[in-house]
Amino acid sequence: SYPAVLSSLTGRRAWFADMAEGRMIVVGGGLAGLSAACELLERGCPVTILEKKENLGGNSSKATDGVAAPGCALQAAAGICDDGADLAADSPAAQALISAGPRDLEWFTKIF
């Protein structure tokens, strides 16, 4: 398949259009590839992700923390009340992540 060959030759993760089917192919299932796939799916494009490993996520799958999304719909549905005050006290950067977290998680779960 030409996308995998081009990707291995250039050493870069990239996407290529399969003009015959109108399908987008994302080479690499790391964080960047998954982000590209999400963007394409939001625009109504059929997407195929090519990944050489068994699991998606690349190096990001090795992260030990999750998504900071206190008060999100998933927590509410599970009966969890969390305002994120403990995390927000860490730093202004943490506050920014916490304020965007629920919205970002709800966007992501709508796609999948």
Of 23, 28, 22, residue with least CA distance to 6 = 28
The first and second tokens of residue 28, run together, are 């690499």
Determine the Cα–Cα distance for residues 7 and 76; give it in Å rounded to an integer: 42
What residues does 38 pair with on adjacent strands?
Answer: none
pLDDT at 21: 54
Model confidence pLDDT, tens digit, residues 63-110: 666 678 899 998 999 999 988 888 887 788 888 888 888 988 888 888
Determine the Cα–Cα distance for residues 103 and 97; give it in Å rounded to an integer: 10
Torsions phi, psi for 47 (to 5 deg): -130, 140
Model confidence pLDDT, tens digit, residues 55-75: 888 877 776 666 788 999 989
* Cβ contact 13:27 at 8 Å: yes
Model confidence pLDDT, tens digit, residues 4-52: 434 444 444 444 444 345 788 999 999 899 989 988 888 888 899 999 9
Confidence at 54, pLDDT banded by 50, 70, 90: confident
What are the distances in angstroms from CA 43 to CA 10, 40, 51, 91, 108? 27, 5, 22, 35, 14
